[in-house]
Chains A and B, each alone.
Chain A
Amino acid sequence: MENRPLEYDYTVAKMFMLTTVLLGIVGMLVGVILAWEMAFPAVNTIAGSGLAEYTNFSRLRPLHTDAVIFGFTLSGIWATWYYVGQRVLKVSMAESKFLMFLGKLHFALYLLVVVAVVVSLLLGITTSKEYAEFEWPIDIAVVVVWVIWGMSIFGLIGIRREKSLYISIWYYIATFLGIAMLYLFNNMEIPTYFASGGIGAWYHSVSMYSGTNDALVQWWYGHNAVAFGFTVPIVAMIYYFLPKESGQAVYSYKLSLLAFWGLMFVYLWAGGHHLLFSTVPDWMQTMGSVFSVVLILPSWGSAINMLLTMKGEWQQVASSPLIKFMILASTFYMFSTLEGPIQAIKSVNALAHFTDWIVGHVHDGVLGWVAFMIMAALFHMAPRVFKREIYSKSLMNTQFWIQTLGVVLYFTSMWIAGITQGMMWRAHDEFGNLAYSFIDTVAVLHPYFTIRAVGGTLYLLGMFLFAYNMYKTMTSGRRVEESELQSASPMGA
């Protein structure tokens, strides 16, 4: 074999980097609109009352969650897969025409699905199940896209030169298998058009599960879509990018083993915490609650492993904005994996469930951990993919602080809103009557909704800075060769 480094082929990675940025902006823009709608209901008719059907809160809400989960995050996962996969397996996509074709097909079909999802959700075509709103034709397309990704993973593994699978690959494999299983079972549905002999809308379907069973399957899915979409693949990223960027070896292999297998074992049990005090059996609720608390161990295992990887090199956090993003992501991961189990304790859940505190929890996880990590990954990849320096380091710093402020405003306001409303719902007066009507508990939230909207807007502003910085890097960053890049990313002033 020739003694020169492999030329990796980033064609597909670039495509997914583009959709990561675009769909990130779309998803968060819709989120910001929703936030302002809750603070000021007049925003519901912002595009005129004629279009209100398509801009009002309820129609847009699934679009927001799905655009961030399946648009931004999934694109980010795939952008990093098509980058990290080649590198840790020591094989280039260019070596296999078939894998290259699969990668491009993967992206093309994914784009089609994105368009179908946006159109159908705006039209109100939805199954109503959270993060599984798509009707059966889209579900089938999703399965096809997923299988193609699986072929790409195992195809690349099949022709690898590095025999031992690096930690990141474990997590990508788990993402693939976990989502495949969850998505298939949660979306079991019967198309009514065919079952009834050609009556009604062709795209409509009815769930194979009813009532309590449907809820159980849905939250087994919903919770673990978070596990295998927002946790597992993001951990895959940090295990690759943090050591690479900082030039430090992963602190402990044993800890990473413990954290991986622990996470795999424990996560699936915890779904029941979405159904506390509902009509699912009590033992299942208790199980969900207990395992949620146990989940702190493997979650913190990974997070601590990452923080300790920085041992002796903490000055990098001050000097490199990229390291800042990743360290804050890891910290938010610890924070939100502590907050989640607290909310899963039955007595806390009685107060927190159905309130904005849950919304706050989701967002400190997604904005603080998932999005920060994905953006850090893209910042690390850009100089190597485009062979250009990051356009502006100071813009990165500005983005970091604006977005951090945004997240902090978001979750603090939602804590207060959630706990306030939860306390007001249960308050009784001295005669044992309810102390507040429902609308009292809504009116009191206005200031917090406003603060949240400001926080969200700041975060979105940061997304625009991110997009601008990436665009300028692509088009006018200083040219740089990979061989000049040591461990840390080169950056202009």
Chain B
Amino acid sequence: MFHWLEKHPFFFAVAVFVTIAFAGLIEILPNFAQASQPVVGTKPYTTLELAGRHVYIKNSCNACHSQLVRPFKSETDRYGHYSLSGEYAYDRPFLWGSKRTGPDLMRVGNYRTTDWHENHMKDPEAVVPGSIMPAYPWLFKNTADVDTAYAEQVTVNKAFAVPYNKEIPMADGSKATVKLAATLDEAKSDALEEAKAVAADMKDQDVKDAVAAGQIPEIVALIAYLNSLK
């Protein structure tokens, strides 16, 4: 059979393809629908948080920080409850990372504050002596791309029925709703309101001035995102 295949390239290619393809089918398909169900308390991202997530991705924070708490005592002690599949239901893309040069950030919103992040991003060594993380001063200057974040919200709402403007059950029995603005302008002004709340806890005068003038620096969006990780 093999000798015959080696003389018939088309059938050879088909045989190779079938051999390599079916493992993927068996691994990925059976669990596909179940794995994308959210757990109680998982909310989609707001416009500003999503813009912050894009800043996180733009700077490849995931190259050094994981967002996956494994079910070991040493990890739950350090980072909090281990990760559940449904908590990632609105993560497109997933940001588990593959290397922990720095600590896990899955639940960083539980134990770090806006103030901490601001100081840390400016000068990591001053906050954590011995840190090898570089400083990110440009986040204080660049403006966050709220438009693209809004475009993504609209897209996932349309294509994947991500539940914006719908009541979402929370862990304490209450309901929460995450708003999807009807227009880009509305999304921008909503994001700015959110940004003002974050900037109120910050010290950098340039950032405060920018937000007061209607601009949202990347750092503000990033901190909004990091604070949402719980």
Contact = CB atoms under 8 A, between A and B. Distances in A.
Contact of B91 (A173, A211, A442): A211
A126 B21 CA distance: 27
A214 B36 CA distance: 9
Interface of B: 2-3, 6-7, 9, 12-13, 16-17, 19-21, 23-24, 27-28, 31-32, 35-36, 57-64, 66, 68, 70-75, 77-78, 83-103, 125, 128-138, 145, 147-152, 154-156, 158-160, 184
Q: Which of A57, A173, A215, A279 has the most CB of B within 10 A?
A: A279
Interface stretch (A100-108, A198-206, A306-314, A335-343): A198-206
A61 interface: yes
Given A212-B36, A213-B36, A201 B148 contact: yes
Given A157-B9, A211-B36, A212-B94, 17 more contacts: A41-B134, A58-B59, A126-B57, A164-B6, A177-B20, A197-B154, A199-B154, A209-B36, A211-B94, A213-B28, A264-B20, A278-B83, A280-B31, A353-B70, A358-B99, A425-B75, A439-B130
Interface stretch (A71-79, A242-250, A266-274, A401-409): A266-274
A37 interface: yes
6 contacts: A164-B6, A211-B85, A214-B94, A218-B94, A265-B19, A354-B99
A284 B94 contact: no
A208 B66 CA distance: 21
A207 interface: yes
Contact of B150 (A126, A185, A199, A350): A199
A161 interface: no
Q: Which of B35, B77, B156, B159 has the most CB of A within 10 A?
A: B35
B20 A126 contact: no
A154 B9 contact: yes
B89 A211 contact: yes
A423 to B, nearest CB: 10
Contacts of B31: 216, 280-281, 284
Q: Which of B66, B99, B137 has the most CB of A within 10 A?
A: B99
Nearest to A166: B6
Nearest to A219: B98
A206 B153 CA distance: 10
A41 B134 CA distance: 6
Interface residues of A, number: 91
Interface of A: 37-38, 41, 44-45, 49, 52-53, 56-59, 61-62, 124-130, 154, 157, 163-165, 170, 173-174, 177-178, 181, 185, 190, 192-193, 195-197, 199-201, 204, 206-218, 220, 257, 261, 264-265, 267-269, 271-272, 274, 277-281, 284, 287, 350, 353-356, 358-359, 425-428, 433-434, 438-439, 442-443
B13 A177 contact: yes
Contacts of A272: 27
Contacts of B71: 277
Contacts of B23: 265, 268-269
A212 B154 contact: no
Contacts of A217: 28
B151 A350 contact: no
A228 to B, nearest CB: 8
Given A126-B60, A173-B9, A438 B78 contact: yes
Contacts of A44: 134-135
B92 A210 contact: yes
Contact of A278 (B74, B96, B100, B145): B96
A425 B74 contact: yes
- 7 shortest A-B CB distances, which residue pairs? A211-B88, A200-B148, A200-B151, A268-B23, A124-B58, A279-B85, A44-B134
B151 A196 contact: yes
B93 A354 contact: no
Nearest to B60: A58
B16 A279 contact: no
Contacts of A193: 151
A277 B72 contact: yes
Contact of A37 (B61, B75, B134, B148): B134
Nearest to B50: A206
Nearest to A38: B132
B151 to A, nearest CB: 4
Given A190-B155, A215-B94, A443 B130 contact: yes
Contacts of A264: 16, 19-20
B87 to A, nearest CB: 8
A204 B130 contact: no
B95 A216 contact: no
A178 B20 contact: yes
Given A271-B27, A442-B132, A428 B60 contact: no
A59 B130 CA distance: 21
A125 B62 CA distance: 14
Contacts of A207: 92-93
B103 A359 contact: no
A124 B32 contact: no
B64 A58 contact: yes
Given A124-B59, A212-B85, A204 B92 contact: no
Given A41-B134, A434-B77, A201 B145 contact: yes
Contact of B147 (A45, A200, A278, A438): A200
Contacts of A41: 125, 131-134
